[in-house]
């Protein structure tokens, strides 16, 4: 194999294209291996493609015999792209290839840049064990996601979906469909991170009283400054809330966090809003609660089995459904891509720590690539 060129660019494998940044912003720093979108959710295809790349047997990106792959590689999990980087289907089958990187013939996968704040699609601990940094896009998604949460709160409380449906059916039935005002109502927020705080700020403008629950209580000075109350237990929050909005990550501890017992705690007049991750709610239990009138309704931007939506929800007028569009604004998507690119550049081009590593990978030190030595 020819000696590596000092001007070769790091390899960037993309499971979906960058849609909101100019292509030159990407190609000026990286050689791009774009996984065709029709294969972006095909684990087998991507695994075999990466196998070829990491073994150095793919000529797809080589511009000349004197400019083979740079020694560092990154994986960009873009919007709508491959979303299942688990131990069994990714890291374990390629562990032998990662071991081969010591012989200097294969690019070393250094970073997985996830296009999104939630990274339950990636086994970050397995990546960290192999020295691979995983990054996400927190904070830049907070405003847009909170807007969707408030939209669902408004649609549920004022029965806007039902009002629109009846009008499209040629019925003028506004006197028969009365909603509820938000002023004075209790909004219970599960997870007071950056998105939860943005929701609280916007809900205050509607005159709502804010209660929250999470494992670690915020400083009392913060609570007083922002006029919010802490619920010691989840069940206490559920019992006292008129609206419950979920903003917690999906982990083993939060999977089906809201199930039969939790729905039993809620007021019959309460609504539940989910813009976090679908499996945080046990949808079977929620369907039973909705059918039996144990809660008033639900607003869902995320779904337990997405992209499939539980069919029974489609027939319930007291459920507002959206197709996971919490961050779907031009501005937010641009900022998410820009943050992904910045993380990739920090690690692969500059040999520095990324801006937003996930907690499992925060301890990993970035070593300079062989090309820079």
| Active-site entry in 100, 223, 260, 306 | 306
| Active-site entry in 70, 115, 247, 277 | 277
Q: Which two tokens stand for residue 369?
A: 């690539």
For residue 212, the SS3 value is strand
Active site residue 306: yes
Is residue 281 within 8 A of residue 150, CB to CB? The reply is: no
* Total Cβ atoms within 10 A of residue 365: 7
For residue 319, the SS3 value is strand
Residue (of 239, 246, 240, 248) closest to 300 by Cα position: 246
| Active-site entry in 47, 62, 217, 324 | 324
Q: Going by C-beta distance under 8 Å and a sequence separation of 6 or more, which residues neighbour residue 203? A: 150, 153, 182, 187, 210
Active site residue 324: yes
Residue (of 134, 169, 148, 159) closest to 269 by Cα position: 159
Active site residue 294: no
Is residue 46 within 8 A of residue 26, CB to CB? The reply is: no
Catalytic residues: 277, 306, 324
């Amino acid at each position: 194999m020819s000696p590596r060129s000092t001007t070769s660019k790091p390899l960037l494998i993309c499971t979906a294209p960058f849609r909101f940044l100019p292509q030159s912003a990407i190609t000026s720093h990286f050689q791009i291996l774009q996984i065709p979108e029709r294969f972006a959710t095909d684990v087998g295809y991507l695994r075999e493609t990466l196998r070829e790349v990491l073994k150095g047997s793919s000529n797809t990106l080589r511009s000349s015999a004197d400019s083979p792959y740079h020694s560092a590689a990154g994986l960009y999990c873009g919007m709508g792209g491959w979303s299942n980087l688990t131990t069994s289907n990714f890291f374990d089958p390629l562990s032998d290839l990662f071991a081969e990187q010591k012989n200097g013939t294969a690019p070393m996968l250094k970073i997985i840049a996830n296009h999104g704040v939630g990274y339950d699609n990636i086994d970050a601990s397995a990546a960290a064990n192999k020295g691979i940094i995983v990054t996400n896009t927190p904070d830049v998604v907070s405003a847009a996601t909170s807007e969707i949460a408030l939209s669902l709160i408004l649609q549920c409380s004022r029965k806007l979906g039902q009002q629109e449906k009846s009008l499209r059916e040629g019925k003028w039935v506004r006197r028969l469909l009365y909603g509820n005002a938000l002023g004075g109502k209790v909004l219970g927020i599960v997870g007071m991170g950056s998105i939860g705080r943005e929701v609280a700020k916007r809900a205050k403008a509607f005159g709502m009283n804010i209660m929250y629950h999470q494992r670690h209580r915020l400083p009392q000075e913060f609570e007083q400054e922002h006029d919010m109350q802490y619920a010691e237990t989840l069940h206490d929050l559920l019992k006292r809330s008129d609206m419950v909005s979920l903003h917690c990550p999906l982990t083993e501890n939060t999977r089906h966090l809201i199930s039969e017992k939790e729905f039993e705690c809620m007021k019959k007049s309460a609504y539940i809003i989910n813009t976090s991750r679908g499996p945080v709610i046990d949808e079977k239990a929620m369907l039973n609660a909705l059918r039996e009138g144990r809660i008033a309704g639900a607003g869902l931007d995320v779904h337990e089995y997405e992209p499939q939506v539980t069919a029974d929800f489609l027939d319930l007028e007291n459920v507002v459904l959206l197709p996971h569009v919490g961050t779907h604004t031009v501005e937010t998507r641009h900022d998410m891509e820009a943050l992904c690119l910045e993380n990739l550049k920090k690690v692969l081009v500059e040999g520095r720590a990324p801006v937003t590593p996930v907690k499992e990978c925060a301890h990993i030190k970035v070593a300079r690539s062989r090309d820079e030595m």
